[in-house]
Structure 1
Amino acid sequence: MSVPEQEWQWEQRRVDDVVGQIRRRAAELEAQIGDVRADVVELRRNFWDEVTINLSSLDDLVETHFSIRQQAEVLADRERMHQQGARELKTLRKLADSPYFGRIDFQENGSPRPESIYIGIASFKADDDTFLIYDWRAPIASLYYDHTPGPVSYEAPAGTMEGTMSLKRQFVIHDGTIRLMFDASVTIGDELLMEVLSRHADVHMRNIVATIQKEQNRIIRHDRGRLLVVQGAAGSGKTSAALQRVAYLLYKYRKTLTADEMLLFSPNPLFSSYVSTVLPELGEENMRQATFHEYLVHRLGRLFEVENPFDQLEYVLTQSGAPEHAVRLAAIRYKGSTAFLRLIRAYQEFLLLQGMQFRPVRLEDRVIVSAEEIKRQFYQPGAPRRMPERLEWLRDWLLKQVSAFAEREWQAEWVEREVEALDPADYRKAYQQMRQSPFAGDADDYDRQREILARMVLRRYLRPVRARIKRFQFVNPTALYRRLFQDPSFAKRLAGADGLPAEWPEICELTLKYLDQRTLPYEDATPYLYLKELVQGVHMNTTVRHVLVDEAQDYSPFQLEFLKRLFPRARMTLLGDLNQTISPYGGALGNQEDLLQLYGPQETDVIRLTRSYRSTREIVEFTRGMVPGGEAIVPFERTGDRPQVVQARDRTSLHRGIVEAVEHLKRCGCQSIAIICKTAAESREAHEALGPGLGATLVDAFTPEFAPGILILPSYLAKGVEFDGVVVYDASEDAYHTEGDRYLLYTVCTRAMHHLWIGCLGTPSRFILDQPDTTYRLRQAGE
């Protein structure tokens, strides 16, 4: 609904007044930051001048310690003030450009008149402490996202607030000037959403606080249970909403929650870069980000070469003719299942009775305790019944054996040789220790000093031995994992009613082959680490309180169970789209029973997003026909050109057609264009042929961030991001014909915001031709 000119002028005058106050506040803050910055520089320059150093006695040493600590605390306090001021100044500058995007007039029941609430990315108060702008995360701001004018209510810390909303107004403000304004009778007016969605894609994700939809607001403000599952269609805003959810939680629990206590598992490092600006734009610090593979390498990289998921997928997509391909696919599916998880748990119970594998405790070439001795002690009658307690009991016994070894060994010849090699400082230290002994002079000084030096040598040599024992490194997890595959019938007994895949003997042979090469396939990494923790002690992170997993459909049920175990205090948010499943695991989100078992039905909520905002109506109508149940995906009413499907008779004409398509997209105003290939190998070939002429950048798994312009990349690295125009390199029947290919092609095509051009080297894929011919335009290259 348009706003009368007089009202428009009044709103602009208010903007001018608010922006003026913001700029004055920013100028004051900038001066304060300058003073603090000067203090920091001065403190750093004169740090040691302010510290009194006196090491002549123990008391003086303590005084010196506290002097240094006090000066360091002063410096740290000033640096925190500077960082906080810099963040606030950055927010004020954003507010000066666009102070707010929404207004609601709300009259609480019992109040004499309505109050105008203006909503922006952050709060701002006038000098008299009245709110000129409310933060979009404030409880009252939920009225803007969730309600239309009329009777409304919202949840506040004091309880449910009820009243009447008489007005909902939306703004687009740039450079302190209202560019667009209208009154809306729906959650977020289509005019505002259209204006935002019509913009060009960027190398970083934008925040969506001005256009949050009601269903997205449910995700953002969801605050109960241990597990929130968001299943959303491509382009439905699930990732954006999840990042706003992080900002909301940091705002709501700002006294008890920090960004360091939140962790996002990204699908790849490129995605981490893509979303890295969302929280800072909202004035919040970035949370921690990692890929699951990075965590696995952190834990296992010293033992194995750990395969990354992209190499696993590249193998699945490109090696279908390999003799072991079918066996490896079966291994990937089974090793990601909860059935394999149960088998490993049964294996742990078995190991309490027999079969544990140990490493001997050594001091270089000397065996202190043999593996057989450790095993006998582990299975002693009366040993603790549970694995953690038994291992701690065994650890304490081993430490005593090391002490006994040291007592026996201090007079050995090798120790004497090491004593002779000590430097003079060690001799002085031994002499001082001897002089301070209450028994000094009771024995030969020379013999006493030699004993002290000998024990000093042993302590140094045995220190790493004791450290390995304390870390339970006397357990041999690699031997234990191998044991599962050395005898196929052994695992069959452990599996019980779950059974094993028909290919199990071949899976065993393939697994042992990789282990012999000290290579850990991606599908083995999580089960190996899980078994390692069961027998060496569980590694838990109790500081992280919120975990978000993006592209969760590509995680196995086993991996999700492992994450739950790794972060026992954390609440978890899983984001995914079953139609974008590209992992050979089959997707954990597809099994509702597995999801509910993670934390239980009472602690689990599932929110489904079916409306797609990223792509034009024509692109959505074309792509939704590729996947089962796609008719439930609702396109946003933003129109454009139908997708173009172009058949080429050979690779030369295909490349010529791609060059013409890219030039056309550039003329249409596309600023980000992606040429998406199926695999990394195909991407390299395409870049070699097209890159120099187009000035295109090749993207691989090691590319740190997206660059503007024309990119050539494999399908799996395009997940989660969007481009103005997408060129599918080759979507022929030869390239995309399996059921797994169906979802891969859907994922590739749904990256396009405004334009989609699909090349085909020969007959187009059945997943294209099965669509109504009214949803795309088919032509020959050169037409």
Structure 2
Amino acid sequence: MSSDIKASEQQRMDNVVDKIKIAQEKYQKDISSAKQDSQAIRDDFSNNLRIKTESYSGIFETAMTVRQQQQLLQERENNWKQATRRLDVLAKLEKKPYFARIDFKEKGEHRESVYIGLGSFSDRPDNFLIYDWRAPISSVYYDGGLGNVAYETPDGTQTVDVLLKRQFLVENATIQTVFDTDEAVGDQMLLDVLDDSSDTKMKSIVTTIQKEQNQIIRETKAQLLFVQGAAGSGKTSAVLQRIAYLLYRFRGNLTSSQVILFSPNQLFNDYVDQVLPDLGEQNMIQMTYYQYAQRRLPKLKVETLQERFERIKSEEEKKIQSIKDSLRFFNATTVYGNFLERRGMRFKDIRFRGEVFFEKEHIEDIYYSFNENYHLRNRLEATKERLLKQLGRRVDKESKKEWVEKAVQESSPEELAKLYGDRARDFGDGDAELCFLARRYVTQQYRQIQRDIQHNRFLNINAQYVHFLTSAPELMNITDKQLLAKWQSGIENVIMMLKSKRMLMEDVSPYLYLYDLITGKRGELDIRHVFIDEIQDYTPYQLACLKTSFPRARFTVLGDLNQAIFTKKESYTLLEELSKLFPKDGIKVVQLTKSYRSTKQITDFTKQVLLSGASVEAFERKGELPRVQVFDEEDKMTEKVEQQLRENDKASFTTAIIGKTLAECQRLTLKLQEQGVKVTLIKTENQRLAAGNIVVPAFLAKGLEFDAVIMWDASAVNYHEEDERQLVYTICSRAMHRLDVIARTKLSPLFERVNKDSYQLD
């Protein structure tokens, strides 16, 4: 690119930065002004407010005054928030105003130039010096080359003739490189961005969005968007940009609190928590499925990620788990719920001071006394209403008894004041007063019973779930005697676990769904978008459960079905299961096959571990071959790790040593620390992602990336099962620039498919 063009572009950028600085000063003044106004309103409010309660009109006038003051304050605070948010965007634009320019012509119009950045900026109305990357016209930059390009606007599809596509690499408002391209995003820009070292926080990919990723970001019609992407294909980044795009596109109708992201673990949440704020948006709700389940079951201890990963299961137990994870089992739960409308509901006695107050048989009689038009939700509400009426009658009856009269007469002045409450003491006579106080006293004594009724504590959900499990084989026509015997012992295990207040993950979703059916829970209606990352580790039952829990939401699910380390799901079976939950014409599938995270050498090595790895395409970024080493003893392996860490540190690479289990990682960390090597062990998903070199178990490495990865003990003893192939792929595909695989005695047979030319064997 000629120096004249670069100088001319730099001059424009300098002018834009000057105007950004002027705007920053204006917003700074707006913030100060809004703060002063808020304080003045508060001072004025406390000085001038006179509470008038002598008449209805006085009360009304006071309420109106308070309301007006609140509205004024709200208005100033909104101004302050908007100015602060705008100031944050301008601070980012000052350092990097924009990263691209497109020149185009609309039919019959003059040539126009548009500059694209992280946010929009205009120096006067309708004079945009920078367009937000999410604006409709910006789509032209990502979606096509030169020539005619169509893009979607709120008014329909528009077509423009693209004459120039220019890209900038910018540091501190200084243009480092300018290049023109006919591609969506030039390889040079991608290479420069990808060659950066990894960090403990994911960065925005706005400057390097590819055409396929842009499809994901701007899709607004699908009820289910299914993104299948190879490791490092930018699917998670694209989905985070998608959230930012939706918040921009539907501003005023969608807020970040109406968007929920289910992520693989808490470490990952920590890793991605800066992406949206960097784009000028507030973070959405983020949680793992485990946190979602644990939040809804506070009295039970749900099986953790580590316990789930390390639990050893027999073949029969695997079969039972796959039944409980299936849509077939979900449908059986729904059928069982319908059956409960006629009979079979399990109840508990309602007790008062150790004595039975309402017997469970009595509650059952009430529950099934309503006609067949009553479904579970109405039946439960009607039962509660009847029980509360009966409680009221019991209060009347009990308040006439001598023990109550005695208790009232012996009450202290403080206790009596509580019984009177707000009631004016204008009783006609002493008997009426005593009657009132006695009734209040009994009502107070029975308050716990009232709460038990209102909170459905007479339902016996544990017994109900066990009864459902007992009925399930018949509902699903299971006749295999061996499987039925194992199913029965599985039920005994569930009973034992419930007694110790614990629950396995495969029981959590059916338990919650059954409770929701019985209580008629209608789901969280305010959530409009649900995002699920690492979809391959979700079961069809969990997905069906989430679909009923968020009935008004559109779903975006993404994952790499080559990394299904918990469910071992194949892509076609998962997609088939999902298609039963959504209308066929509401599903859109986007496949991302190109991997950008790793060098070509690492991608070519890792994809050969897979049986279906041919579909993974490496980006042309050169690096060294992965290295494989086999040692005869563990001490030599540890020495190799120490030496490799020193090499990686010299290259300024952050290294993750990834072991299979937590116990294995704990042993290695201890050995390294005894040798004076500085590493941080990541033990739980609730830990922060530490800077520097880390040791991490495989089940916590999902979704993360590191400059260098050392796979610890990739031996035949440690990794020999065929269904661990996806786990090995997950571990190796975390590496961006350097990969070392070390093993003891004999390398895992899962590497046998890898061509000997694809790695160095030391």
* TM-score tier after normalising by the smaller chain length: over 0.9
- Among 438, 443, 456, the alignment partner of 1:459 is 443
Render the CA deviation track for 1:390-416: whole Å, top value 9, x for unaligned.
Answer: 222222222222122112211235534
1:677 aligns with 2:659: yes
What residue in structure 1 maps to residue 175 of structure 2? 178
Q: For residues 515 and 585 of structure 1, what CA distance do their matches in structure 2 show?
A: 28
Query: Displacement of 1:38 after TM fit?
Result: 4.0
Q: For residues 648 and 65 of structure 1, what CA distance do their matches in structure 2 show?
A: 80
Quick check: 693-702 or 596-605, which moved more? Answer: 693-702
Q: For residues 719 and 50 of structure 2, what CA distance do their matches in structure 1 show?
A: 73
1:390 aligns with 2:386: no
What residue in structure 1 maps to residue 242 of structure 2? 245
Query: Displacement of 1:664 after TM fit?
Result: 0.8
Quick check: 53-62 or 579-588, which moved more? Answer: 53-62
1:197 aligns with 2:194: yes
- Structure 2: which amino acid aligns with 1:673? T
Identity of aligned residues (%): 38
1:709 aligns with 2:709: no
Distance 1:93 1:376, change over 3 A: same
Q: TM-score under structure 2 normalisation?
A: 0.95
- Structure 2: which amino acid aligns with 1:329? K
Query: Displacement of 1:660 after TM fit?
Result: 0.6
- Check whether the contact 1:555–1:588 (CA below 8 A) recurs between aligned residues: no
Render the CA deviation track for 1:760-783: whole Å, top value 9, x for unaligned.
Answer: 12211112232001111111xxxx
- Structure 1: which amino acid aligns with 2:85? R
- Structure 2: which amino acid aligns with 1:185? D
Q: For residues 180 and 224 of structure 2, what CA distance do their matches in structure 1 show?
A: 37
Q: For residues 414 and 752 of structure 2, what CA distance do their matches in structure 1 show?
A: 83
Q: For residues 327 and 720 of structure 1, what CA distance do their matches in structure 2 show?
A: 31
Query: Displacement of 1:63 after TM fit?
Result: 5.2
Q: For residues 588 and 419 of structure 1, what CA distance do their matches in structure 2 show?
A: 71
Structure 1 gap segments, 5+ residues each: none
- Check whether the contact 2:265–2:685 (CA below 8 A) recurs between aligned residues: no
Q: For residues 2 and 226 of structure 2, what CA distance do their matches in structure 1 show?
A: 44
Within-5 A mapping of 1:688-727: 688-691=670-673, 693-727=676-710
SS in 2 for 1:179: strand
- Check whether the contact 2:539–2:567 (CA below 8 A) recurs between aligned residues: no
Within-5 A mapping of 1:93-242: 93-111=91-109, 113-127=110-124, 129-242=126-239
Q: For residues 328 and 73 of structure 1, what CA distance do their matches in structure 2 show?
A: 61
Q: For residues 421 and 565 of structure 1, what CA distance do their matches in structure 2 show?
A: 54
1:483 aligns with 2:467: yes
- Check whether the contact 1:552–1:588 (CA below 8 A) recurs between aligned residues: no
- Structure 2: which amino acid aligns with 1:619? I
Q: For residues 493 and 309 of structure 2, what CA distance do their matches in structure 1 show?
A: 17
Q: For residues 432 and 708 of structure 1, what CA distance do their matches in structure 2 show?
A: 59
Q: For residues 419 and 677 of structure 2, what CA distance do their matches in structure 1 show?
A: 73
Within-5 A mapping of 1:373-772: 373-380=362-369, 382-416=371-405, 418-420=407-409, 422-425=411-414, 427-428=416-417, 440-441=427-428, 445-485=429-469, 487=470, 490-496=471-477, 501=483, 503-584=486-567, 586=569, 590-670=573-653, 672-691=654-673, 693-772=676-755
Query: Displacement of 1:8 after TM fit?
Result: 1.5
Distance 1:679 1:60, change over 3 A: farther
SS in 1 for 2:184: coil
1:372 aligns with 2:361: yes
Distance 1:747 1:625, change over 3 A: same
1:332 aligns with 2:313: no
Query: Displacement of 1:83 after TM fit?
Result: 2.4
Distance 1:417 1:731, change over 3 A: farther
- Check whether the contact 1:293–1:308 (CA below 8 A) recurs between aligned residues: yes
Within-5 A mapping of 1:294-373: 294-302=291-299, 304-316=300-312, 325-373=314-362
Number of residues of Structure 1 aligned to a counterpart in Structure 2: 759
Query: Displacement of 1:58 after TM fit?
Result: 6.7
Within-5 A mapping of 1:19-58: 19-40=17-38, 48-49=46-47, 51-53=49-51
Q: For residues 458 and 384 of structure 1, what CA distance do their matches in structure 2 show?
A: 36
Distance 1:468 1:203, change over 3 A: same
Render the CA deviation track for 1:594-618: whole Å, top value 9, x for unaligned.
Answer: 1101112111111111000000000
- Check whether the contact 1:641–1:755 (CA below 8 A) recurs between aligned residues: yes
Q: For residues 303 and 61 of structure 2, what CA distance do their matches in structure 1 show?
A: 53
Distance 1:430 1:750, change over 3 A: closer
Distance 1:334 1:177, change over 3 A: same
Render the CA deviation track for 1:503-552: whole Å, top value 9, x for unaligned.
Answer: 32332232222122221111111111111111122251001100101111
Distance 1:108 1:180, change over 3 A: same
Render the CA deviation track for 1:470-498: whole Å, top value 9, x for unaligned.
Answer: 3333221111112234x5xx432222279
Distance 1:607 1:393, change over 3 A: same
Q: TM-score under structure 1 normalisation?
A: 0.92
Distance 1:717 1:435, change over 3 A: closer
Q: For residues 553 and 491 of structure 1, what CA distance do their matches in structure 2 show?
A: 26
Query: Displacement of 1:727 after TM fit?
Result: 1.1
Distance 1:480 1:414, change over 3 A: farther
What residue in structure 1 maps to residue 72 of structure 2? 74
Distance 1:589 1:51, change over 3 A: farther
1:6 aligns with 2:4: yes
Distance 1:418 1:287, change over 3 A: farther
- Structure 2: which amino acid aligns with 1:274? Y
SS in 2 for 1:569: coil
SS in 2 for 1:449: helix
SS in 2 for 1:524: helix
Structure 2 gap segments, 5+ residues each: none
Distance 1:373 1:601, change over 3 A: same
Q: For residues 5 and 477 of structure 1, what CA distance do their matches in structure 2 show?
A: 75
Distance 1:364 1:771, change over 3 A: same
Q: For residues 87 and 423 of structure 1, what CA distance do their matches in structure 2 show?
A: 57
- Structure 2: which amino acid aligns with 1:312? R
Query: Displacement of 1:435 after TM fit?
Result: 6.1
Q: CA RMSD in A?
A: 2.3
- Check whether the contact 1:676–1:728 (CA below 8 A) recurs between aligned residues: yes
- Structure 2: which amino acid aligns with 1:308? T
Quick check: 747-756 or 505-514, which moved more? Answer: 505-514
What residue in structure 2 maps to residue 85 of structure 1? 83
Render the CA deviation track for 1:20-41: whole Å, top value 9, x for unaligned.
Answer: 1111111221232233334445
Query: Displacement of 1:148 after TM fit?
Result: 0.5
Q: For residues 20 and 530 of structure 1, what CA distance do their matches in structure 2 show?
A: 58
Query: Displacement of 1:712 after TM fit?
Result: 1.0
Render the CA deviation track for 1:307-327: whole Å, top value 9, x for unaligned.
Answer: 2233211224xxx6xxxx445
Q: For residues 370 and 95 of structure 2, what CA distance do their matches in structure 1 show?
A: 75
Distance 1:757 1:466, change over 3 A: same
Q: For residues 264 and 414 of structure 1, what CA distance do their matches in structure 2 show?
A: 57
Q: For residues 435 and 83 of structure 1, what CA distance do their matches in structure 2 show?
A: 47
SS in 1 for 2:214: helix
